[in-house]
Chains A and B, each alone.
Chain A
Amino acid sequence: MTQPIDTSIYTAVTDAIRTEAARILSDGTVTAVAGYAAARRKGSSQPIVVSDAGNADKLIFTAACVNNLAVYLTKAKKDIPKSGRIGVVVKGCDLRALVGLMGESQLKRDDLYLIGVPCAGVLGSTIQPATELNTDTIAPKCLECVERLPVGCDFVPAVTPPPAPELEKKYASEIARLEAMTPAERWAYWKEQFSKCIKCYACRQVCPFCFCEQCLCDRNRPQMVETTPRPAGNMAWHIVRAMHLAGRCAGCAECERACPMDIPLNLLNRKMAKELKELFDYESGFEVLECGPLATFTEKDDQSFIK
């Protein structure tokens, strides 16, 4: 049965973000703050970069503040001014992505001022942003979240997030369902899903870890992957994406939310994360690792695949 989710803490979170942003902008700690602002449609929000303390009151936090703002700090998005230290509003899942980027030498901790959000969950889809946050509309990632309070930020509003609702973990159960299929059935499932892919690359463009300045899937001399939205090229693209994110994906699920064709892309990432946990006891977290699990070798690594 659908139950509403208590998001009353977001009023206090919004106030705290505004006060802190105004403070760090006026005392010169940062040159800009990346956060969320209300947009035209009822309940909607969109990313905003505030560089004037007088505009700090535009910042909000609501269940529609879904974007992972880490993407705006990456090399692939050179448009955001990088002069000086930047403040950024982060949920726990967004912070894990930033930590991953630091581990990959894409960002320096000292260049960031992290404003952590005590999180009660966000919407899975913002197609209708006025939707109430409830047990049906909450993003599936939030049901598996164990980090509602980001750790290691420069500022976190003194608000305690409510405990996560005890609900079926949708990714875990969907992965179990797919694992129970025969390879032919799984192939048929993904073939049908990828038949909807239009190669708009929203999944790539919102991914903080897709920071290559030129994606190999855009190359045509030689052509590495068919660029055409046809079954072979679509399948190849999504496999390339999943493999490149293995051991790196922070689970923000932005790929899945951004997909205009509703392809459950995060299932691939969660499956890879599961393998990484089993093989290397690795999970994306809040601690910067200089070498990710697939960028290092230890004698304890599983070698059973060498026959």
Chain B
Amino acid sequence: MQKYLSQENFSTLLEKLIASGKRVVAPKLNAGTVLYEPLKNPAEIVIDRMPRRSGKEAFFPICEEIISYGKEGQKVTVTDIDPARFPETVLVGVRPCDAAAIPMLDAVFSWDYRDEFFLERRKKTTVVGMACTEADDACFCTAVGLSPGDPKGGDILLTQVEGGGYLCRAQSEKGEALVAAHAALFSEPDGHKSLPLAEPQTEKIDLQKVKKWLDTNFEHPDWDSIATRCVGCGACAFVCPACHCFDIVDEGTEKSGTRRKNWDACGFWKFTHHASGHNPRDLQPKRYRNRIMHKFKYYDDKFGQRLCTGCGRCIRLCPAGIDIAAIVEDISKK
């Protein structure tokens, strides 16, 4: 079901959603940087710049409280977080590479353990994607089997049309419900022509060949040359739409405190540092190898797909200029 949504009605829709008390998260400027953040008014949305971080934080916050505790005399109280208090959310303007990562996270967070924090937020969120009309040379969604107009992971996909406004395709019950609830804002799509979509300049990578090489080359001298330049920060994992490792820490005093869940990254030295003092990934190449292995082998072994959507954020932002698209392409040619 395709509908037309004018630019004006798009703003009205956002306004109505905000007014209804929903948390409307969309790309907006925050101290000079575009991030997915809750909108206060529709004018704040920025659709022509890719957000620096991905949309995953709408379900998987950088830091969240999971329990709190208090102690008075001999009395200890532990308070659970009630996921029922998580707000109904509409995540708007999500890039196809960010939306495609959401089902990847769904698989992880509902696999051997159902993460109620993630899943409750996920259940309460409607994802409104936005097809890309521009790509730079770090974009490689097409190399990993996606595309700038890919509807994967979204409930609605918006595509910009010539002269302003959007073609709107609802592709799930949640999406249809949102359109139906604001039916007066949508009209028939007749005559509206979508803007040409972006064309990332990367060639399709043979991911089966990549996996085959990874299956048998855990130990290989090339890991050193691939990863020696890695400085061991967490920038790549933290801007990645699909990376999902976290750490749990207790912070507070003897009298009161909080248990928090924070993003973690396999590039960090302390990520695999054991209490004994031993670190099985003692050198940076072993840590970087894990990044590639997890994305293109381990995740595939478990869930039958890759853990990379080709958004290119890690390429743009790596302080050491590491280019995962070039590395994976090289592996595919080995």
| Nearest CB of chain B from residue A149's CB, rounded to whole Å | 25
Contacts of B263 in A (CB 8 A): 198-199, 229
Given A202-B319, A228-B63, A229-B262, A258–B233 Cβ distance below 8 Å? yes
B301: Cβ under 8 A from any A Cβ: no
Please tell me which one of the listed residues B137, B224, B269, B284 contacts residue A41 in the complex, with CB atoms under 8 A apart.
B137
A223–B31 Cα gap in the complex (Å)? 30
A159–B174 Cα gap in the complex (Å)? 65
Q: How large is the interface on B (under 10, 10 to 19, 20 to 34, 35 or more residues)?
A: 35 or more
A202–B52 Cα gap in the complex (Å)? 15
Please tell me which one of the listed residues B224, B233, B238, B326 contacts residue A204 in the complex, with CB atoms under 8 A apart.
B233
Contact (Cβ within 8 A) B30 A196: yes
Q: Enumerate B56-111 residues with CB–CB distance to A below 8 Å.
A: 62-63
| Nearest CB of chain B from residue A169's CB, rounded to whole Å | 20
A306–B268 Cα gap in the complex (Å)? 42
Given A41-B315, A41-B323, A200–B229 Cβ distance below 8 Å? no
A260: Cβ under 8 A from any B Cβ: yes
Contact (Cβ within 8 A) A260 B238: yes
B53: Cβ under 8 A from any A Cβ: yes
Contact (Cβ within 8 A) B319 A205: yes
Contact with A along B25-55 (1 / 0, CB 8 A): 0000011110100000000000000001100
Contact with B along A209-230 (1 / 0, CB 8 A): 0000000001010010011111
Contacts of B53 in A (CB 8 A): 198
A206–B318 Cα gap in the complex (Å)? 11
Please tell me which one of the listed residues A40, A41, A78, A258 contacts residue B235 in the complex, with CB atoms under 8 A apart.
A258
Q: Enumerate B291-330 residues with CB–CB distance to A below 8 Å.
A: 315-317, 319-323, 325-326
B319 and chain A: residue at smallest CB distance: A258
Q: How large is the interface on A (under 10, 10 to 19, 20 to 34, 35 or more residues)?
A: 35 or more
Contacts of B138 in A (CB 8 A): 41
Contact (Cβ within 8 A) A226 B251: yes
At the interface with chain B, which of A42-50, A102-110, A238-246, A294-302?
A42-50
Interface CB pairs A-B, < 8 A, 26 = A39-B326, A40-B326, A44-B321, A46-B229, A46-B322, A47-B321, A48-B229, A78-B283, A79-B284, A128-B316, A193-B31, A196-B35, A198-B62, A202-B231, A202-B319, A205-B233, A206-B233, A227-B247, A228-B251, A228-B262, A229-B62, A229-B263, A260-B52, A260-B235, A260-B238, A260-B239
